Structure 1
Amino acid sequence: MTDPLAPINAAVAQAFVAACEAELAAPKPGNVHHFAPGHGMEARDFIESARAAAPFIAAPGASVGQRIFGAVEATWAAVDQNTNLGIILLCAPLAHAVLTAESPDLRRETARVLAALDVADANAAFRAISRANPAGLGAAKEHDVSGPARTSLLEAMRASADRDRIGYQYANDFVDIFETGLDALQRARARGHDAPRATLETYLAFLAAFPDSHIVRKYGIEKARAVREDATCAAARIESAPQRDEAFALALDFDQNLKKNKINPGTSADLTVGVLFADSLPAILAKAHKNG
């Protein structure tokens, strides 16, 4: 018997891959994109990662923790490196919100999903984080990801929120996604910009809004604040550029400078994918809610 929700799961998986691919079409300063590789990675690594992770992000009947763990394991099987842990941590709750929808309001559904996260979700996510082995959540003494979880995933993320912007999203109902990011994306579209330029300006909005936590973990808060100041200036120049080619040239100049200094604003890039994914979900959610 055909699962009536199968088209919704497929649509969520497709939206996840599309968001990951769309982010690579913008010359995001310091990060990997189609215009330039960086930090030992190329755009194709992220495309392969997205395609491998997508079925687990949208898996029928999975919990948020299971989505995270399955997607990270699939990524490692595909590319043998951590390309997308932050993306997965952001997109798994958004996908779950759509696939378990009780209303057509994505923001409300995301808050519901986050509030319901439990210890089993934490255990699965801890295993995924340990597998990816980033600097981050495990630094909290009370929530060591190398051991069994003693609290819910939401509480563990709350403990990391002061030093990790992805943890901050969990603790604050994805406020940066639904406000800073989607607002920037809509403003860029209102100025008539195409998708890659709108994506670039969304990324810069994050980089200018707060110190990128990936930079903080690697180089400290002062360096991250300096990059934020540079990003604020760059964003103003790029937004005022009359033509896309000029805007992209300015972005690529900033990109070269950051990569020369081995600086990767990875959290801002992860948040950008989260925005692109969230932007695509209301149409799927409306259909899922109607069919449900």
Structure 2
Amino acid sequence: MERWRIVKAFTLGPMLEAAIPKPGNVNRFADFEDLSLYHFLFGNTSVLPVYYEAIKTGELVRKGIIEPNEAGIGELIKRAVSESRKAQDANPNFGVITLSIPLMMGLAMARNIMEGPEKAAMLLRESTVRDTMELYRAIRIANPKGIPSGVKYDVYSDDSFRELFRDGIDLWALAEMSCERELIFCEWVNSYGLSYQTADRLVELLKEFPLEEAVVMGFIELMAEETDTLILRKAGAEEAERVKDAARKVLTGDMTVEELDTFLREKGDLRNPGSLADITAVSLSLLALSGLRVEMRGGKVFGVI
């Protein structure tokens, strides 16, 4: 696939996700105390050069010029996170960056969109311990909320790099052991199944509803089915389950979208479904890659593929 086509798609997707008024998230109508829509705009555009290089690297692997274990996924993620941090003072897009870079590289190696996850998985399987160390450095730069301390391979421990090297923990091994507490890693090892499934569902919803309504509905369906690991890490299993229950009530008509949004914001950003927002961003990127465009109909914006 053409480089800039992938870059544009994976820039537009996260910006759409951030702007659309999804319940519990930053959007064009709502900010958090320490995170605004502007953080997303600045953060998601600052990574463009690194995204371009990631795609170019995927092409070099495809052509056999470099080996898969030389792709440097960890370094690319770290550089993208660093560029984002230079542009703003929060963490709007660590999850999106970490999801997107391997997939973009895979798409650069693929014959079509559906083959991208297979190629991404190959790159992740061929990653090195150095990639994991660079990912840890990226996490330290981004400083996401809810990262546990005192666990094995503690991100913030001075001993972690020695332990990773000793045990030979590449990105694939890290993802396998961390899937339960981080949805991003589940997507890595499950070939981006949830991202592609969500994209397919959004395609169906876009046939019936305006763009924002379709994305909000798809997001609530996602919340009703999947545990948001950001909420799980920050607030615990009970709160994460309460969020799922609330989303289900919207689908059954027992709660409005507005009531859900109020419930999610009752405790600041503690119930912010950020991991599922990252999935939605990648799904929208896949739609953009498939040719998503907007049309006005009766004063409303519709998304058309």
Same fold? TM cut 0.5: yes
Cα offset, 1:276, TM superposition: 1.0
**AA matched with 1:108:** E
Following the alignment from structure 1 to structure 2, what is the Cα–Cα distance between the partners of residues 210 and 165? Answer: 9
Unaligned runs of 5+ in 2: 58-70, 292-305
How many Å separate the matches in 1 of 2:14 and 2:131? Answer: 24
2:50 aligns with one of 56, 60, 79: 56
The answer on 1:225 being equivalent to 2:241 is yes
Deviation of 1:108 (Å): 2.8
1:6-52 alpha-carbon deviations (Å, 9 max, x no partner)? xx332222212211121123211111001211242211110110000
Go from structure 1 to structure 2 and tell me whether the alpha carbon gap of 1:193 and 1:114 turns closer, same or farther (over 3 Å shift).
Answer: farther
Q: 1 CA distance for matches of 2:141 and 2:174?
A: 17
* Residue 286 of structure 1: aligned partner: none
Distance (whole Å) between structure 1 residues aligned to residue 88 and residue 33 of structure 2: 15
Does residue 126 (structure 1) correspond to residue 126 (structure 2)? The answer is: no
Residue in 1 aligned with 2:226?
210
Residue 155, structure 1, aligned to residue 173, structure 2:
yes
Supply the AA of the counterpart residue of 2:203.
Q
Q: Which residue of 1 aligns with 2:303?
A: none
Name the aligned partner's letter for residue 261 of structure 1: K
Q: Which among 23, 27, 30 is matched to residue 29 of structure 1? A: 23
Bigger mean CA deviation after superposition, 43-52 or 157-166? 157-166
**1:71 and 1:43, CA in 2 relative to 1: closer, same or farther beyond 3 A?**
same
Moved more, 163-172 or 62-71: 62-71
Equivalent residue for 1:187?
Answer: 204
Q: Using structure 2 for the length normalisation, give the TM-score.
A: 0.79
Cα 1:167–1:135 change in 2 (3 A) is farther
AA aligned to 2:273 is P
| Paired amino acid for 1:234 | V
Aligned alpha-carbon RMSD (Å): 2.5
Selected match of 1:116 from 126, 137, 159: 126
Q: Does the 8 Å CA contact 2:24/2:265 hold for their aligned counterparts? A: yes
Structure 2 CA distance for partners of 1:182 and 1:57, relative to 1, 3 Å: same
Aligned-partner SS, 1:143 = coil
Gap change, CA 1:155 and 1:39, over 3 Å in 2: farther
Equivalent pair of 2:35/2:90 in contact (CA under 8 Å): no
Cα displacement (A) at 1:193: 1.5
Contact 1:15-1:277 at 8 Å conserved across structures: yes
Q: Which runs of 5+ in 1 are unaligned?
A: 239-248, 284-292
Distance 1:194 1:63, change over 3 A: farther
How far is 1:258 from its partner? 1.4
Aligned to 2:76: 67
The aligned amino acid for 1:16 is: F
Deviation at 1:197, TM superposition (A): 1.9
Partner of 1:245: none
Q: Is the CA contact (8 Å cut-off) linking 1:177 and 1:274 kept in structure 2?
A: yes
Alpha-carbon distance between aligned partners in 2 of 1:160 and 1:114, rounded to the nearest angstrom:
14
Q: How many pairs align?
A: 266
1:265 and 2:262 are equivalent in the alignment = no
- d(CA) in 1 for partners of 2:49, 2:253: 39
Question: Alpha-carbon deviations, 1:236-283, whole Å to 9, x = none?
Answer: 449xxxxxxxxxx94333222311222211111111101111233357
Q: CA deviation at 1:204?
A: 1.4
Structure-2 residue corresponding to 1:242: none
Task: Specify which of 174, 180, 192 is matched with residue 192 of structure 2.
Answer: 174
Question: CA separation of 1:25/1:131 partners in 2, compared to 1, >3 Å: closer, same or farther?
Answer: closer
Q: Is the 8 A contact 1:68 1:125 kept in 2?
A: yes
Structure 1 residues 236 and 44, CA gap change in structure 2 (3 angstroms): farther
